[in-house]
Amino acid sequence: MRHGNKNNKLGRNSAHRNALLKNLAHALFEHGYIATTLAKAKELRPFAEKIITKAIKVHKAETIARRVALSRQIERDIHQYEVYLKLINVWGMLCLHRPGGYLRIIKLESRMGDNAEMAYIGIVLDENYTDEANFSGIAAKSMFTNLSKSLVTDHLINKSLLAQWYNARIPQINMQGKFVTTQNRKIITFEIFFHGVELEDANWPVFNREYVDLPVSLHIDTDLPDNANVEYKVKAGEGFRIMPSYNEKSIIRILLSPLKETKIIKGEIIIGRRENVMPRLEYCYLTIRGPISDIYIYNFLKKASK
């Protein structure tokens, strides 16, 4: 019985094989495609697609810690910084909305001399990008090199949205809160004002030639016990969407459309009795987190701070 034949060893030991795949992946992400033997291309495909998946997850990660963890995992395989940036900022964004199958293998004529089967392996280019950039008639050797530059300069594919948010100017935020106590419950109402900005002057991030939505999350921090009877409400209004927060009752995730004008978010926190006992509330903070870091903190029991 032959064991260990799931993968092609490529005539190399484990360490040499891994080094070969990393070098091939490095060349692939640098140029967008490479020509190699068919056997190496078939082994490279699952190895490189896993790295691309991590690059995509960098853009979808909701916390900075998760982004850092994924970035470090990528750095283990892609050591050159320029190639690492191109992988995340260009190819990761290009494949962001593909459900899988990021690479494609195209067979070529056999190699002269040893008659080895040859093949191209490269990033799959969606027609909507190649048609917009007028790349349909360009030879493969120049297509990928030019495409990685043109997609960024023409705003078809942008630099990492995370990098764009670092350079963007977050709009001014003001907030009003009111704390009311009744016999059966405590009610905290609040209004958040996101003031409009000139999007171009604020370096507002762009994706696919359109200004992107501003992702913010409202983190409500209290000293209430875990079993407290608490209800969080935010009224959806024009210009923003409430995103689902799984198993996170005290976190409200919101997508704000580009802030050309002032938008207002209204909400309330309702604290009810539990077993006929009204819980004490010593502190209650609302932290507004943007795509990079905290952008506003409000203490309902004292005063707002930035």
Note the pLDDT tens digit of each residue in 213-237: 888 888 888 888 777 788 888 876 7
Mean pLDDT taken over the chain: 79
Ordered domains of the chain (ranges, CATH): 14-124 (3.90.1030.10), 164-305 (2.60.40.150)
Chain segment 154-198, per-residue pLDDT in tens: 444 445 566 677 778 888 888 888 888 887 888 888 888 888 888
Range 113-148 burial, b when 16+ CB lie within 10 A, else e: eeeeebbbbbbebeeebbeebebeeeeeeebbeebb
The single residue listed with the structure tokens 């260990």 is 4
Q: Are 187 and 229 in contact (CB under 8 A)?
A: no
Distance, CA of 97 to CA of 306 (rounded, Å)? 36
Please report the beta strands in the chain, taking only residues with DSSP state E, as ranges in sequence order: 33-37, 103-107, 118-123, 173-181, 185-194, 206-207, 210-211, 214-222, 229-235, 240-243, 251-256, 263-272, 284-289, 294-299, 304-305
At position 113, the amino acid (one-letter code) is G
Helix ranges (H only) for 32-89 are 38-60, 64-75, 81-86
Distance, CA of 285 to CA of 164 (rounded, Å)? 29
Residue 90 phi/psi, 5-degree rounding, is: -110, -65
Torsion, Cα of 298, 177, 236, 269 (10° steps)? 90
Chain segment 60-84, per-residue pLDDT in tens: 887 888 888 888 899 888 888 888 8
Q: Closest by alpha carbon to 143, among 133, 135, 132, 155?
A: 135
What 8-state DSSP symbol labels residue 209? Answer: T
What 8-state DSSP symbol labels residue 306? Answer: -
What is the pLDDT confidence band of residue 302, given thresholds at 50, 70 and 90? low
Q: Is the pLDDT of residue 150 over 80?
A: no
Sequence-ordered list of residues with C-beta below 8 angstroms from that of 98, at least 6 positions apart, any chain: 124, 126
Least confident range from 76-90, 110-124, 199-213: namely 199-213
Token output for 212: 């992107």
Could you tell me the sign of the dihedral formed by the alpha carbons of 207, 211, 213, 215, in that order? positive
Distance, CA of 181 to CA of 179 (rounded, Å)? 7
At position 209, the amino acid (one-letter code) is R
